[in-house]
Structure 1
Amino acid sequence: MANGQGYGGVNGYGAAPPQNPYGQASYGANPYAQPVAPAQPYPAQQPYPPQQAQQAHLAPQPPYAAARFGAAPQPGGGFPGPAPRRNRLVVLLQFLLQWIYAPLWILGLVGFFVLLILADNVGGGPSPNSDGWLKVNRGFIPPRRLRAELTGRPEHWERYVTPILARRIAAAEAAHAAGDGELRADHGRVVKAGLALRLYRGLGAAGVVRLAERHGWHGVASGTDAGHVRLARHFPAPAAPHAPSPQGPPAAPGTPWGPQPVRFAPLLPFVFLLQIVYAPVYGLLTCWVSRTEPDYWDRWAARWTVGPRAFRAEFTNSPAAWDRHIRRILKRDATRELDRSAESYRALTAPDGTFLRRIHLARATYRGAGAQQALRIAAEQGWILDPAYTPDPANSLRLARPDRA
């Protein structure tokens, strides 16, 4: 514009624009006359020095910077970048042929197990070192991954792996809420998850860790296992448990801490006899199905089976019978736990040498008496509610007892 108000003009209305406003040193106030850093946070000509790599990893940045997804890992990051791309022709052939060999693979596995059953040789012959050959999905390329495999672009791989990673993290956190996780000396628990290389090949472990950090997770060194990326999250110990005192007033029947309704007594003998048949069948059908609850079998058994020790207590629904049953199970589990050496708790031992011995009682143990009554009986022997878990009296009762190495 002739009035001097063109792009970058700063000399007022009506002033004539200079011949070369971006090359004259007199325009020092003009930001375009000064050399500025490029917008790309990872310019190839100016890589981050090692001492700034961690800050660059945590700072907001464009998701698909070219240098970030290079073959070499970020300095000091410790996680490798993308793996070498697979041959496009091989990927296409695998995608086309999998619709033929995958059904045949499944039929072959079914036939193999039928032969084992008919030959009555389930445990007699040699077994494979792992069950990897049973998982057909490992050799299957879904259509969503095909594009990422063919293009090799990080944004396509990120679009593919993001929902998978979100499901893995959600499942791990749900398992933690149900009582899963690796215990720590501070009563916190660590849950872990992982992804196989085939799911993030073009993104790299560094890219997966970056995505996991958005959910509050962090990467864990995989050691010599270059075919997986390991993730973890530490959950602190829950707040003080909201539970009634063992010596307080009894909880009302039907409440979480009070006595629960027992099953119809005349039906229990039939359950006791039929469970010999349907319990093993159910176990075989679900042995490869992962469950969110780590004590899923105890929860299932409390609904559909009745143990010989609990039969009399549940059949009569007598408070005295329930108390005897609770004491019997508590003595059995406590003896087994106390027989463990203190050395086995080394990772959970506090600096002063104290640690907690842990047991848990299933709902079937105290159904008709109530969780508070079971807690009262356990408190007589020094057991308290485990501070590492949120109480869940409707399903199980987790107890702890202080000890010293």
Structure 2
Amino acid sequence: MANGQGHGGTGGYGAPPQVPYGQAPYGRNPYGENPYARPVPPPQPYPAQPPHPAHPAQPPHPAQQATPAHPAPRPPYGAARPGGFPGPAPRRNRAAVLLQFLLQWIYAPLWVLGLVLLFVVLVFADYNGSGPSSDGWLKVNRSFVPPRRLRAELSGRPEHWERYVAPILARRTAAAEAAHAAGGGEVQADLGRVVQVRLPLRLYRGLGADGVVRLAERHGWRGVASGTDAGHVRLARHFPAPATLNAPSPQDPPAAPGSPWGPQPVRFAPLLPFVFLLQILYVPVYGLLTCWVSRPEPDHWERWGARWTVGPRAFRAEFTDSPAAWDRHIRRILERDTNRIRAAATRTSGTTPVHRIQLNRATYRGAGAHRALRLAAEHGWTLDPAYTPDPANSLRLTRSDLP
């Protein structure tokens, strides 16, 4: 054929190049080429391209990955995790937990009875000596294992510990948020306030501090690594400062009586002497009988005192209900607090740039919160922008020009 692909052709597509007669390489293998030899590629007229694999390399399956012969040891409790919080603590001995759970129903009542007898003895003996530096021996609940925690202690499973500590964490964070609403918390540089919660190790032993922080983050709280040790975990939440202060200016006209910023009704004058004398008896009795009651308002005692007690300084102002007497009483309280803060600033060399005080409702009951705000402005005090105004219960004031 013309193209040389037929029988006897001198060359065709894919045929080896012809060698002139007499120029065949000496010693050529007559049995053909070695199939295992690596042939020398002919020169290419174009730049060589990297070879493309038939199947791209795939990452090895996790099950096929090589596992170390000796796994890394688990860090001991107290060592910082990647998040900066310790993990679960070592489990307690089951026999010891069961023995404590059985014996606590005997020694806990005896412990409480012994504390009551000791208190009575100290009262009648007029003891004035110094006691222990810690009050841990007064708290029986620290050594008490409730039934709900018994299962978690015995099983040691994280889900059981989480089921136990979750409601405790919810109650304590709710109480801290209520305390913030009542004026609690530490004021920050941005005028926001931070409230904190601290849990002991016995409440989350099998969950670890990192597990408690994970639960708290669901409710807007965060862990404080700097205040967390091997025996406690500390949580915090930041609340921003109020956007606006819904309050009148000291230069505004006086508020109407009965309004939140106006004068409030005073108590019946002939009843005040009996309240002044009997409060010495019924205030301690009421406190001892209701000290164990959980109050929904963190400032319950301040509100209760403003209603059922009368101070010696406010007795004349409330008994006469005279505007001049109320002004004199408010000015006396403002001067007392100002002098106290000035003395404290002098002792600390003025390291506190901003000073804060609080006027309770009993201080300005008959004059009104607006009148108290006007008198405070005369002494250099203004409303504290870090707190939402609550004239029905208290006034929070601030100033920064004290030496």
| Residues 259 and 370 in structure 1, CA contact (< 8 A), matched pair in contact too | yes
Q: Following TM superposition, by how much is the alpha carbon of 1:231 offset from its aligned partner in structure 2, in angstroms?
A: 0.9
Counterpart pick for 1:136 among 115, 140, 150: 140
Distance 1:397 1:145, change over 3 A: same
Partner of 1:77: 83
Report how many residues are paired: 344
| Residues 73 and 206 in structure 1, CA contact (< 8 A), matched pair in contact too | no
Give me the whole-angstrom Cα distance separating, in 2, the residues matched to 1:88 and 1:315: 65
Give runs of aligned pairs for residues 297-312 of structure 1, distance below 5 A. 297-312=301-316
| Residues 326 and 367 in structure 2, CA contact (< 8 A), matched pair in contact too | yes
Partner of 2:379: 381
| Residues 69 and 207 in structure 1, CA contact (< 8 A), matched pair in contact too | no
Amino acid at match of 2:262: G
Deviations 1:74-113 (A, max 9, x none): 7532111110000111111111111111111112212222
- Name the SS of the counterpart of 2:401 in structure 1: strand
Q: Following TM superposition, by how much is the alpha carbon of 1:218 offset from its aligned partner in structure 2, in angstroms?
A: 1.1
Distance 1:308 1:44, change over 3 A: farther
Partner of 1:198: 202
Amino acid at match of 2:263: P
Distance 1:104 1:269, change over 3 A: same
Counterpart pick for 1:114 among 109, 114, 120: 120
Matched, 1:102 2:100: no
Distance 1:173 1:68, change over 3 A: farther
Give me the whole-angstrom Cα distance separating, in 2, the residues matched to 1:44 and 1:356: 62
Partner of 2:153: 149
Q: Following TM superposition, by how much is the alpha carbon of 1:291 offset from its aligned partner in structure 2, in angstroms?
A: 6.3
Give me the whole-angstrom Cα distance separating, in 1, the residues matched to 2:116 and 2:260: 44
Give me the whole-angstrom Cα distance separating, in 1, the residues matched to 2:228 and 2:220: 25
Q: Following TM superposition, by how much is the alpha carbon of 1:195 offset from its aligned partner in structure 2, in angstroms?
A: 0.8
Amino acid at match of 1:87: N
Amino acid at match of 1:335: N
Partner of 1:331: 335
Partner of 1:57: none
Q: Following TM superposition, by how much is the alpha carbon of 1:260 offset from its aligned partner in structure 2, in angstroms?
A: 0.5
- Name the SS of the counterpart of 1:341 in structure 2: helix
Amino acid at match of 1:307: G
TM-score by length of 1: 0.77
Partner of 2:96: 90
Give me the whole-angstrom Cα distance separating, in 2, the residues matched to 1:71 and 1:44: 29
Deviations 1:23-49 (A, max 9, x none): xxx999xxxx986668xxxx9969xxx
Amino acid at match of 2:400: P
Give me the whole-angstrom Cα distance separating, in 2, the residues matched to 1:308 and 1:85: 57
* Percent identity for Structure 1 against Structure 2: 75
Partner of 2:239: 235
Matched, 1:161 2:159: no
Give me the whole-angstrom Cα distance separating, in 2, the residues matched to 1:398 and 1:68: 51
Distance 1:211 1:250, change over 3 A: same
Partner of 1:21: none
| Residues 198 and 234 in structure 2, CA contact (< 8 A), matched pair in contact too | yes
| Residues 198 and 232 in structure 2, CA contact (< 8 A), matched pair in contact too | yes
CA RMSD, aligned part only?
Answer: 3.0
- Name the SS of the counterpart of 1:194 in structure 2: strand
Partner of 2:359: 361
Amino acid at match of 1:146: L
Partner of 1:340: 344
Deviations 1:177-229 (A, max 9, x none): 10111121221111111111111000001101111111111111356842111
Distance 1:311 1:78, change over 3 A: same
- Name the SS of the counterpart of 1:393 in structure 2: coil
| Residues 179 and 293 in structure 1, CA contact (< 8 A), matched pair in contact too | no
Give me the whole-angstrom Cα distance separating, in 1, the residues matched to 2:262 and 2:149: 52
| Residues 222 and 229 in structure 1, CA contact (< 8 A), matched pair in contact too | no
Q: Following TM superposition, by how much is the alpha carbon of 1:289 offset from its aligned partner in structure 2, in angstroms?
A: 7.4
Q: Following TM superposition, by how much is the alpha carbon of 1:167 offset from its aligned partner in structure 2, in angstroms?
A: 0.6
Distance 1:284 1:199, change over 3 A: same
Partner of 2:9: none
Q: Following TM superposition, by how much is the alpha carbon of 1:374 offset from its aligned partner in structure 2, in angstroms?
A: 0.6
Give me the whole-angstrom Cα distance separating, in 2, the residues matched to 1:69 and 1:328: 61
| Residues 317 and 326 in structure 2, CA contact (< 8 A), matched pair in contact too | yes
Distance 1:263 1:224, change over 3 A: closer
Matched, 1:268 2:276: no
Q: Following TM superposition, by how much is the alpha carbon of 1:304 offset from its aligned partner in structure 2, in angstroms?
A: 1.6
State the structure with more CA Rg.
2
Amino acid at match of 2:103: L
Unaligned runs of 5+ in 2: 1-53
Partner of 1:12: none
Give me the whole-angstrom Cα distance separating, in 1, the residues matched to 2:328 and 2:66: 74
Moved more, 395-404 or 273-282: 273-282
Give me the whole-angstrom Cα distance separating, in 2, the residues matched to 1:252 and 1:246: 14
